């Protein structure tokens, strides 16, 4: 989707995959199998929620939302980050994760790595561990892998497609 949500951005729309039940199920299974050692699944708003909630449900490990700023009702940690087209902030409830819990972090698209870095830092603020990170697709040329690695979160990113 060219020029969405802003001029010059090429948006990767995953909604056609979600509409196809078989493809959606395969994606959820691929996400679930990224690691065998996670205790809980966290997903980044908004499309990361879809996959992470499905994985949390089918594995019985549960789901923790990482939301855009101002959307959570209880005491929350907050982390700002840069987007391709501006800045944003993510939040997680302070009691969403237990210390030393191992978390599978899921989002739909890896672009610059800012969103995943912010989400990983929120998980760490809760005292939990980022066990694994997975995205459906990566946008080439934006160096998301490198920027995420440079953030100090020492976990590789699995790209499913």
Residue 6 included in any domain? no
Residue 98's pLDDT band (boundaries 50, 70, 90)?
very high
Residue 84's pLDDT band (boundaries 50, 70, 90)?
low
Active site (annotated) includes residue 19:
no
pLDDT in tens, 20-39: 999 999 999 999 999 999 99
pTM listed for this prediction: 0.94
Q: For residues 46 and 72, is the Cβ–Cβ distance under 8 A?
A: no
Q: What is the per-residue pLDDT for 13?
A: 87
Long-range contacts of the stretch 98-101 (C-beta < 8 A, 24+): 98/126, 98/127, 98/128, 99/126, 99/127, 99/128, 100/127, 100/128, 100/129, 101/39, 101/40, 101/128, 101/129
Catalytic residue among 7, 19, 29, 47: 47
> Given the structure tokens 């990566």, which residue do they identify?
138
What is the CATH classification number for the domain harbouring 138? 3.40.50.2020
Residue 7 included in any domain? no
Catalytic residue among 45, 84, 101, 138: 84
Active site (annotated) includes residue 67:
no
Q: Which domain holds residue 135?
A: 15-159
* Domain total in the chain: 1
What's the half-sphere exposure (Cβ side, CA atoms, 13 Å) at 39?
Answer: 11
Residue 3 included in any domain? no
């Amino acid at each position: 989707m060219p020029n969405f949500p802003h001029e010059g951005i090429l948006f990767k729309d995953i909604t056609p995959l979600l509409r196809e039940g078989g493809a959606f199920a395969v994606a959820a299974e691929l996400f679930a199998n990224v690691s065998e050692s996670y205790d809980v699944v966290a997903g980044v708003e908004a499309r990361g929620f879809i996959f992470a909630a499905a994985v949390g449900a089918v594995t019985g490990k549960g789901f923790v939302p990482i939301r855009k700023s101002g959307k959570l009702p209880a005491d929350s940690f907050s982390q700002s980050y840069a987007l391709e087209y501006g800045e944003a902030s993510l939040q997680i409830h302070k009691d969403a994760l237990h210390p030393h819990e191992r978390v599978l972090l899921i989002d739909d698209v890896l672009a610059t790595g800012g969103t995943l870095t912010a989400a990983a830092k929120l998980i760490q603020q809760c005292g939990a561990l980022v066990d694994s990170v997975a995205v459906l697709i990566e946008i080439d040329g934006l160096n998301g892998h490198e920027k995420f690695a440079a953030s100090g979160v020492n976990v590789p990113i699995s790209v499913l497609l």
